C-alpha cells in the first residue's frame, strides 16, 4: 500500500513534465508574438526587442523551456504578460478561491441530489420516481451545460427577473452557476449510484441479511448502501475533472472572476506564464484527485489489489 502510494506520487513528476512540455510547445508554436496585437499603433522593432528581452522571449525556445522549468520547480511562474505589474501567483491566488468555492459547492450539491435520488430509484425500481430520476440523469448528462445555462438565464434572470444575470459576490449570484455546474456530475452520479445499488441488492449477503431477520432499514443502510458506495467513490475522480472543465464554460457564461475564465482569456491573449501555471495547476489537481480516489478505493474494498 505504502509502496504503491509512493510510486503513484513519484509518477506525478514525469507526468507534470510532459504536460508542461506539451503545453509549452503548443503555446509557442502559435504564430506571432504576444506583444504585437495593436494594429493601429504598431510598436517599433526596438520596443518589441526590448520587451522580448525583458521576458526572455529572445532566447531559443528550448532554452526558454529550461528556464521555465527551473523557476517552476521553485513555484515561481513569473509575471503576467497582460497585467505586467502582477505576478502569476498573485493573479491565480485571487481567482482560485472563487473557482474552488464554485467547484466545492457544485460537488456537494451534486452529491446531495444524486445519492438520495440514485438510492431511492434503485429501491423503487421501475416506479415513477425511478423513471423520473432516469429522465433527469439522461437530460443532465446529455444537454450541454451552456445550453442549460442559457435557458436558465433566460428564465430566471431575463424573464422572471429573480436573479442577476452575471457577476459574483453575494448568494444570489451563486445560485445559477452552482446549480448548473452541478447538473452534469449529478446526472452521472445518479446513474452510477442507481446501477451499483441494483447490483448490490441482488447479492447473496443481502439475502442472508434479510433471511436472518434484520430490519429492512438496516439491510439497506449497512449492507446494500455500504457496498454500493464503492463504485460511486471511484467516479468522484472523473467528476472532479468534469467540474474543472465545466467551470471554464460556467465562469465564461456568468462572468465569474475565477481561474476558468482567466485560463481562457490568458490563452486568447497568449499570456504564456498564466497559461503554463494554470494548466499545471489543473493537471496537478486532477492527478491528486485520481490518486486519492484509487487509494480510497483500495481502503474501501480490500479485494482490490493496488500493487500492480
Rounded to the nearest whole angstrom, what is the least distance from the CB of residue 246 to another protein in the complex?
9
- CA neighbours closer than 13 Å in the CB half-sphere of residue 86: 11
- d(CA 216, CA 161) in angstroms, rounded, equals 47
122 contacts 193 by C-beta, under 8 angstroms: yes
Q: Residue 223 or residue 270: which is nearer to another protein going by CB?
A: 270
- d(CA 79, CA 83) in angstroms, rounded, equals 8
Rounded to the nearest whole angstrom, what is the least distance from the CB of residue 158 to another protein in the complex?
6
Which residues lie near another protein (CB under 8 A)?
11, 15-16, 18-19, 22-23, 26-27, 29-32, 125, 138-139, 141-144, 146-147, 150-151, 153-154, 158, 165, 194-195, 198, 241-242, 244-245, 248-249, 252, 263-264, 267-268, 270, 275, 279, 282-283, 286-287, 290
Question: What cell was used for 181?
Answer: 455546474
Q: Residue 164 or residue 214: which is nearer to another protein going by CB?
A: 164
* Among candidate residues 260, 262, 256, the one with its CA nearest the CA of residue 88: 262
- d(CA 275, CA 78) in angstroms, rounded, equals 12
Rounded to the nearest whole angstrom, what is the least distance from the CB of residue 302 to another protein in the complex?
24
Q: Residue 227 to residues 127, 143, 236: CA-CA distances in angstroms?
A: 23, 31, 16
Rounded to the nearest whole angstrom, what is the least distance from the CB of residue 213 to another protein in the complex?
28
Rounded to the nearest whole angstrom, what is the least distance from the CB of residue 122 to another protein in the complex?
9
- d(CA 115, CA 192) in angstroms, rounded, equals 9
Q: Residue 214 or residue 238: which is nearer to another protein going by CB?
A: 238
Q: Residue 142 or residue 215: which is nearer to another protein going by CB?
A: 142
Q: Residue 35 or residue 146: which is nearer to another protein going by CB?
A: 146
Amino acid at each position: 500500500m505504502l509502496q504503491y502510494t509512493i510510486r503513484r506520487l513519484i509518477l506525478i513528476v514525469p507526468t507534470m513534465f510532459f504536460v508542461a512540455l506539451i503545453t509549452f510547445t503548443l503555446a509557442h508554436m502559435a504564430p506571432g508574438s504576444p506583444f504585437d496585437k495593436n494594429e493601429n499603433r504598431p510598436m517599433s522593432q526596438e520596443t518589441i526587442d526590448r520587451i522580448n528581452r525583458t521576458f526572455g522571449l529572445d532566447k531559443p525556445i528550448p532554452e526558454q523551456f529550461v528556464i521555465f522549468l527551473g523557476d517552476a520547480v521553485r513555484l515561481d511562474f513569473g509575471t503576467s504578460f497582460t497585467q505586467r505589474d502582477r505576478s502569476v501567483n498573485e493573479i491565480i491566488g485571487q481567482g482560485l478561491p472563487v473557482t474552488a468555492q464554485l467547484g466545492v459547492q457544485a460537488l456537494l450539491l451534486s452529491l446531495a441530489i444524486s445519492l438520495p435520488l440514485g438510492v431511492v430509484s434503485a429501491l423503487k425500481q421501475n416506479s415513477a420516481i425511478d423513471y423520473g430520476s432516469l429522465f433527469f440523469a439522461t437530460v443532465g448528462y446529455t444537454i450541454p451545460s451552456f445550453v442549460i445555462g442559457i435557458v436558465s438565464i433566460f428564465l430566471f434572470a431575463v424573464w422572471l427577473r429573480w436573479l442577476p444575470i452575471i457577476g459574483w459576490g453575494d448568494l444570489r449570484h451563486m445560485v445559477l452557476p452552482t446549480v448548473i455546474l452541478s447538473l452534469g456530475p449529478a446526472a452521472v452520479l445518479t446513474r452510477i449510484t442507481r446501477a451499483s445499488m441494483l447490483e448490490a441488492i441482488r447479492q447473496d449477503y443481502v439475502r442472508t441479511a434479510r433471511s436472518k431477520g434484520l430490519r429492512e432499514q438496516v439491510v439497506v443502510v449497512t449492507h446494500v448502501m455500504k457496498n454500493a458506495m464503492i463504485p460511486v467513490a471511484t467516479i468522484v475522480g472523473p467528476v472532479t475533472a468534469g467540474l474543472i472543465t465545466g467551470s471554464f464554460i460556467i465562469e465564461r457564461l456568468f462572468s465569474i472572476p475565477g481561474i476558468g475564465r482567466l485560463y481562457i482569456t490568458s490563452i486568447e491573449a497568449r499570456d504564456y506564464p498564466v497559461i503554463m501555471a494554470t494548466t499545471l495547476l489543473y493537471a496537478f489537481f486532477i492527478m491528486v484527485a485520481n490518486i486519492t480516489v484509487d487509494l480510497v478505493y483500495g481502503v474501501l474494498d480490500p479485494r482490490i489489489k493496488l500493487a500492480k
